[in-house]
Amino acid sequence: MEFKILASNNLKECLSLLKEGCKPFAGGTDLMVQLERGVLKPQTFVNLLNIPEFHGIQVVERKINPAEANSESYLRIGSATTYSQLIQFLQADAKLRQAFAPLMEASFQVGTLAIQNRGTVGGNIMNASPAADFPPALLLFDVWVELTSFDENHSTCSRIVHYPEFHVDYRKTLAKNHEVLTALWIRMDSGLRTNEKWYYEKVGTRAAQAISKVCFAARMGHGEISPRLVMASVAPITKILNHTQKLIKMHRENGEIGYSRISEVELRNALVEDISPKTDIRSTAEYRFEVAFRLVKHFLSIY
Amino acid sequence: MIEFQLNGQKVKVEPEKGMTRLLDVIRKTPKKDKENEFFTGTKEGCGEGECGACSVLVNGVLVNSCLIPVLQMDGQDVKSVEGIVPDLFEDTLRDSVERIEAQGIVNSFLKKGGAQCGICTPGMVVATAALLDKKKKLKETTLSRDEIRQALAGNLCRCTGYQKIIDSVKECFDEYLVNAHRVVEKRVD
């Protein structure tokens, strides 16, 4: 058997091919590298780039969160949106650019211009590498992922999953076989407030393009807004640093103004609970932990 | 049948061969009216999208051709280095702004020593063309060395140390883009 790729320009046909066992192929910036390295078994792909439902960025009023009574404003980002398209969209609107600045920064850092022009936000999520650059930025906001498939009655059906729950283990997501990611839904209200500070730093061997040794995204504001700290490449999945967040919140509730009040020991102990970096071809576990610690410390110092 | 435009020529590929890399299709495409010449300007440096030697423009957008299955090029407009910097002896472009601009990139690289072994040069030229197009669209008249570094960050060079490549791009922008129309006016009388 050989590698093949099939064309498709409508959703139903695409879903039908996926149900028959074809694998989705979007920007291809990771799949083609896997192919080159010989780690993929010969299989048939279906090209997602000509399906209209996977494209476009719009603001949509919708009821998504089952816990909410009313519909809300969401930013719907088609899964085949490239990083360049997302950058262009955000650059064109000052309010959105300010509210979702970390998404723009992540898009620039994901790779070189040539990669930004082909790589898709859906691909980064579904490829589910623990080193993926977009998820840490995404997890700063309230994000839902829309999965679509063909059911037994040959009807198109979609379901929505809350993104923080989507990644379950190393390269494993809650997506079922034959399901394809159609769009991301970001609640507009979860954007950065004007007094919030944010941080996105990817540590790697080459500024323009690298698989990260550590990638860290964070946001923090005043009042009731909880700090959100997220890290990639330090666990089998992208990690929300729950213990570290709790520590920061606790110090804030004690009325402490500067985060220099958090001792190094306290911070290291919280981080140990949150991350489990490994040694691999890119870095040692000890180096990753030290970089992770310094990134969080740097973020706290600039707040 | 997969059909697309390459440097103004129509290229056809059997659908069964859809997973063939765009890079390989380009390098095996013969030039129209030129026996035994193929579009081999586009190079394979790494095959992983890291080095940029395979850079081409698809609908004016900079991409790595080693990462694209040719099926995804159906109906698209692809320009590789030969299509961006046409034959310098092409008479039809004589004394036009387009010729001066196209020549500009090559002339600047020659003038400023932006090439040594030349293997990265086609990719550098394509990335430069993408940058110049962007500057033209935005109607910007200044270009910093930092901007050039950003625009060419996807292209690796093992010979030059990059400084002369940056000099070449800066020279091209300063001399030709801004002054091109003046040169044409002069030649007409």
Expressed in angstroms, the distance from the first to the final Cα of chain A is: 56
Cβ-contact A31, A40 below 8 angstroms: yes
Nearest CA in chain B to A116: B63
Q: What's the rounded Cα separation, in Å, for the pair A139 and A215? A: 13
Q: What's the rounded Cα separation, in Å, for the pair A262 and A270? A: 11
Average pLDDT, chain B: 88
Q: A12 — phi, psi (to 5°)? A: -60, -45
Residues 6+ apart with CB under 8 A from A105: A137, A200
Closest to B60 in 3D by CA, of B124, B137, B121:
B137
Query: What burial class does residue A199 get, using C-beta atoms within 10 Å of its C-beta: 0-12 exposed, 13-18 middle, 19+ buried?
Result: buried
What tokens does B156 get? 């690796």
Q: What's the rounded Cα separation, in Å, for the pair A230 and A275? A: 10
pLDDT digits (tens, 9 = 90+) for A108-122: 999 999 999 999 999
Instruction: Name the CA radius of gyration of chain A, rounded.
Output: 20
Closest to B55 (Cβ–Cβ): which among A3, A6, A114?
A114
Place of tokens 């200044």: B142
Q: B47 and A36: CB-CB below 8 Å?
A: yes
Q: Which residues from chain B sit within 8 angstroms of residue A4, using beta carbons?
A: 16, 18-19
- Strand positions, DSSP E, chain B: 2-6, 9-13, 55-58, 61-64, 77-79
What tokens does A46 get? 């279906």
Q: What's the rounded Cα separation, in Å, for the pair B152 and B129? A: 10
pLDDT in the model for residue B88: 47
Q: What band does B91 get if pLDDT is binned at 50, 70 and 90?
A: very low
Q: Reply yes or no on whether the pLDDT at B185 is more than 90.
A: no
pLDDT in the model for residue A221: 84
The type of residue at A117 is N
What pTM, to 2 d.p., does this model score? 0.94
Cβ-contact B49, B67 below 8 angstroms: yes
Other CB atoms within a 10 A radius of the CB of residue A49 amount to 19
pLDDT in the model for residue B160: 97
> What average pLDDT does range A215-230 have in this prediction?
88
Q: Which residues from chain B sit within 8 angstroms of residue A46, using beta carbons?
A: none
The type of residue at A212 is S
Q: A36 and B18: CB-CB below 8 Å?
A: no
pLDDT in the model for residue B68: 98
Q: What band does A41 get if pLDDT is binned at 50, 70 and 90?
A: very high
> What average pLDDT does range B82-94 have in this prediction?
63
Q: What is the ipTM score, two decimals? A: 0.94
B93 half-sphere exposure, CB direction, 13 A CA radius: 14
Q: What band does B149 get if pLDDT is binned at 50, 70 and 90?
A: very high
Cβ-contact B62, B81 below 8 angstroms: no
pLDDT in the model for residue B182: 55
Any A CB within 8 A of B106 CB: no
Of A14, A32, A54, A205, which to mutate for an interface test with B (greatest number of B Cβ within 10 Å)? A32
Q: Of A86-100, A177-191, A243-257, B150-164, which range is least confident?
A: A243-257
Q: Which residues from chain B sit within 8 angstroms of residue A48, using beta carbons?
A: none
Cβ-contact A36, B48 below 8 angstroms: yes
Exposure class string for B119-154: b at 16+ Cβ within 10 A, else e: bbbbbbbbbbbbbbbebeeeeeeebeeebbebbbbb
Q: Which residues from chain A sit within 8 angstroms of residue B67, using beta carbons?
A: 28-29, 32-33, 118
pLDDT in the model for residue B102: 62
Cβ-contact A190, A266 below 8 angstroms: no
Q: What's the rounded Cα separation, in Å, for the pair B49 and A32? A: 9
pLDDT in the model for residue B104: 77
Average pLDDT, chain A: 94
Q: What's the rounded Cα separation, in Å, for the pair A217 and A300? A: 12
Q: What's the rounded Cα separation, in Å, for the pair A168 and A152? A: 26
Q: What band does A224 get if pLDDT is binned at 50, 70 and 90?
A: low
Q: What band does B187 get if pLDDT is binned at 50, 70 and 90?
A: very low
* Closest CA–CA distance from residue A32 to any residue of chain B (Å): 5
Q: B49 and A114: CB-CB below 8 Å?
A: yes
Any A CB within 8 A of B64 CB: yes
Expressed in angstroms, the distance from the first to the final Cα of chain B is: 50
Q: What band does B178 get if pLDDT is binned at 50, 70 and 90?
A: low
> What average pLDDT does range A240-269 have in this prediction?
83
Q: What's the rounded Cα separation, in Å, for the pair B140 and B135? A: 5
The type of residue at B30 is P
pLDDT in the model for residue B99: 60
pLDDT digits (tens, 9 = 90+) for B36-70: 899 999 999 999 999 999 999 999 999 999 999 99
> What average pLDDT does range A226-249 have in this prediction?
95
pLDDT in the model for residue B136: 85
Cβ-contact B27, B56 below 8 angstroms: no
Q: What band does A223 get if pLDDT is binned at 50, 70 and 90?
A: low
Cβ-contact A28, A69 below 8 angstroms: no
pLDDT digits (tens, 9 = 90+) for A167-209: 999 999 999 989 999 999 999 999 999 889 999 999 999 999 9
pLDDT digits (tens, 9 = 90+) for A47-87: 999 999 999 999 999 999 888 889 999 999 999 999 999 99
What tokens does A130 get? 């623990």
The type of residue at A296 is V
Q: Reply yes or no on whether the pLDDT at A128 is more than 80.
A: yes
Q: What's the rounded Cα separation, in Å, for the pair A302 and B131? A: 34
Q: Reply yes or no on whether the pLDDT at B87 is more than 70.
A: no
> What average pLDDT does range B20-31 have in this prediction?
97
Q: What's the rounded Cα separation, in Å, for the pair A28 and A123? A: 8
Q: Reply yes or no on whether the pLDDT at A135 is more than 80.
A: yes
pLDDT digits (tens, 9 = 90+) for A20-39: 999 999 999 999 999 999 99
> What average pLDDT does range B116-139 have in this prediction?
94
SS3 category, B29: coil
